């Protein structure tokens, strides 16, 4: 019982440490002390010394004076038997067997420091709240620099508020119990039970408050990592979409360029056929929408809806290439035939220079030289000496 009472009285050190925390927050938040200045001032030394020494000293004195006795649910500073008359309240006379004047020692060793710390914490908390209100008004006037400083102090202000709240929450029940006992001499079991439950949780609550900023930093770090991951995924998706769009656009550009090449080649071919002089075979009809199958097919494919990366465009592109190659091949064959027939007609013209046209009908001029001209009519070479006087030549 005495060992339990010794450690129970030593718990007054936690109360004094709450007062030390309040002073620390006041110096940092209100006075603006840095950690370097706190280290130079060595203010932590008396804070630790007062808290630890007061707990150990009062516990040792209580143990030496025989004040540690059962109080109902545990052992602490109390008189035996419970409810006996103490000498400081009974004119120097006592009916207590052990622990005379225990209530007086309770006030001196425990309740006086407790209520002093409660008063100190309340005043300091009020000063911190007023400081932040003034700083908010100052931020509106001076802007970003003051805002950055207050942004650093806001987490510290929240932590100090949590320390104060946990302190009030733990010691509110013993305070009410003690005041009610002094006023009415009646002890309610409910307050005794609440005091027995929550007073030992002071250190646990302080630990939670102490670790809460670190927990908030971890949560913020994870949140930023998730946002960064989402951003990276979004950027990668955007890049992939851009690549697909660029690829589809490239296919379309290549396809359009082949269409232009087809049109340009057919235009050149038509001009060559219309301006050619001399021997020629029956001219290839000019490209039209009906017989221009390569152009028509590719244009239809170009207007067709695309799906899955422009597969229809790729198919149209393949058709365009095939038709271009076929047209080039046919053109080469035509040109070879024309050259051969021109040479053949030149020989006939040289042999039969001066001959007249013997047959009537439509004919095509293959070659003209001097006063004569050679024609191919119905697959045969015919020669005219005076093409200007020939109606057949004019028709041709």
Q: Is the pLDDT of residue 366 over 80?
A: no
| Contacts of residue 9, Cβ cutoff 8 Å, sequence gap at least 6 | 55, 58, 59, 62, 68, 76, 77, 109, 110
pLDDT of 113 reads 93
129 belongs to a structural domain: yes
Q: Report the C-alpha gap between 23 and 19 in whole angstroms.
A: 6
| Residue 69 pLDDT grade (very low, low, confident, very high; cuts 50, 70, 90) | very high
At residue 340, the pLDDT reads: 45
What tokens appear for 37 in the block? 């200045």
**Which of 58-67, 257-266, 330-339, 369-378 has maximum average pLDDT?**
58-67
Q: What is the mean pLDDT of residues 178-201?
A: 84
**C-alpha pair distances (Å), 209 with each of 12, 117, 230, 329:** 19, 18, 32, 88
Last residue of a domain, one of 187, 212, 240: 187
Residue 198 lies in a domain: no
pTM of the predicted structure, to 2 decimals:
0.53
**Phi (first) and psi of residue 143, to 5 degrees:** 80, -135
- pLDDT higher for 325 or 298? 325
- Residue 375 has a CB neighbour count (10 Å cut-off) of 26
| Spatial distance between the Cα atoms of 201 and 197, rounded to a whole number of angstroms | 8
The residue assigned the tokens 């067997």 is: 97
What pLDDT score does 46 carry?
93
- Predicted pLDDT at 119: 93
Buried b (16+ CB within 10 A) or exposed e, 338-351: beebbeebbebbee
- The predicted structure's pLDDT at residue 84: 85
Q: Which residue has the higher pLDDT, 121 or 274?
A: 121
Residue-range definition of the domain harbouring residue 390: 352-396
For residues 173, 179, 183, 184, the Cα torsion angle rounded to the nearest 10 degrees is 20
Q: What is the pLDDT of residue 238?
A: 57
Three-class SS of residue 246? helix
Sign of torsion over alpha carbons 237, 238, 239, 245: positive
Is pLDDT above 50 for 304? Answer: no
- Give kind and range of the element (H or E) at residue 315: helix 311-351
Return the higher-pLDDT residue of 73 and 267. 73
Q: Whole-angstrom Cα distance, residue 293 to residue 302?
A: 14
pLDDT in tens, 28-58: 888 888 888 988 988 999 999 999 999 999 9
pLDDT value of position 156? 75
pLDDT at residue 241 is higher than 60: no
In a domain, 156, yes or no: yes
User: What is the per-residue pLDDT for 249?
Assistant: 52
Position 287 in a domain? no
Residue 181 lies in a domain: yes
Q: Is the pLDDT of residue 348 over 90?
A: no
Lowest mean pLDDT among 154-158, 249-253, 300-304: 300-304
Q: What angle do CA 24, 26, 29 make, to 5 degrees?
A: 105
pLDDT recorded at residue 370: 41
Q: Show which of 141, 167, 187 is a domain's final residue.
A: 187
State yes or no: pLDDT of 377 exceeds 60. Answer: no
Between 24-33, 72-81, 146-155, 218-227, the lowest mean confidence (pLDDT) is in: 146-155
187, 216, 248: which is the final residue of a domain? 187
Lowest mean pLDDT among 104-108, 111-115, 209-213, 323-327: 323-327
In a domain, 228, yes or no: no
In a domain, 165, yes or no: yes
- Residue closest to 77 by CA, chosen among 64, 94, 91, 92: 64
Q: Are 120 and 24 in contact (CB under 8 A)?
A: no
Are 255 and 302 within 8 A, CB to CB? yes
Model confidence at 343, pLDDT cuts 50, 70, 90, reads very low
Measured distance CA(262)–CA(80) in Å, rounded: 117
* Residue 256 falls inside a structural domain: no
Domain count, the chain: 2
Higher pLDDT, 260 or 215: 215
Q: Which long-range contacts (CB under 8 A, 24 or more apart) does 56-64 make?
A: 56/10, 56/13, 58/9, 58/12, 58/109, 58/110, 59/5, 59/6, 59/7, 59/9, 59/10, 60/6, 61/109, 62/5, 62/6, 62/9, 62/105, 62/109, 63/2, 63/5, 63/6
Which pLDDT does position 89 carry in this prediction? Answer: 82
């Amino acid at each position: 019982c005495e060992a339990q009472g010794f450690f129970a009285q030593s718990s007054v050190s936690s109360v004094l440490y709450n007062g030390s925390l309040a002073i620390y927050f006041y110096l940092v938040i209100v006075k603006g002390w840095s950690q370097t200045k706190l280290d130079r001032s060595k203010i932590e030394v008396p804070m630790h010394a007062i808290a630890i020494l007061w707990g150990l000293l009062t516990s040792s004195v209580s143990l030496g004076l025989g004040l540690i006795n059962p109080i109902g649910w545990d052992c602490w500073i109390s008189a035996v038997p419970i409810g006996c008359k103490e000498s400081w309240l009974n004119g120097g006379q006592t009916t207590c067997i052990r622990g005379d004047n225990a209530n007086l020692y309770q006030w001196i060793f425990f309740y006086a420091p407790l209520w002093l710390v409660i008063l100190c914490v309340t005043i300091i908390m009020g000063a911190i709240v007023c400081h932040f209100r003034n700083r908010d008004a100052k931020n509106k006037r001076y802007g970003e620099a003051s805002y950055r400083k207050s942004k650093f102090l806001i987490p510290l202000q929240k932590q100090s508020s949590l320390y104060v709240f946990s302190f009030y929450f733990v010691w509110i029940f013993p305070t009410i119990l003690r005041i009610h006992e002094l006023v009415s001499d009646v002890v309610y079991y409910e307050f005794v039970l609440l005091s027995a439950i929550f007073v030992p949780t002071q250190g646990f609550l302080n630990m939670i408050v102490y670790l809460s900023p670190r927990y908030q930093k971890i949560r913020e770090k994870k949140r930023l990592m998730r946002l960064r991951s989402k951003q990276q995924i979004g950027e990668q998706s955007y890049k992939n979409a851009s690549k697909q769009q660029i690829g589809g656009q490239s296919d379309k550009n290549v396809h359009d360029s082949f269409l232009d090449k087809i049109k340009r080649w057919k235009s050149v071919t038509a001009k060559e056929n219309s301006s050619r002089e001399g021997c020629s075979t029956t001219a290839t009809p000019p490209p039209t929408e009906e017989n221009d199958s390569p152009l028509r097919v590719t244009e239809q494919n170009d207007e067709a809806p695309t799906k899955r990366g422009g597969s229809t465009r790729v198919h149209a592109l393949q058709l365009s290439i095939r038709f271009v190659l076929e047209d080039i091949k046919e053109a080469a064959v035509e040109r070879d035939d024309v050259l051969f027939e021109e040479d053949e007609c030149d020989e006939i013209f040289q042999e039969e220079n001066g001959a007249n046209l013997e047959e009537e009908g439509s004919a095509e001029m293959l070659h003209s030289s001097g006063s004569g001209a050679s024609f191919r009519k119905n697959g045969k070479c015919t020669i005219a000496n005076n093409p200007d006087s020939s109606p057949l030549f004019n028709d041709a």
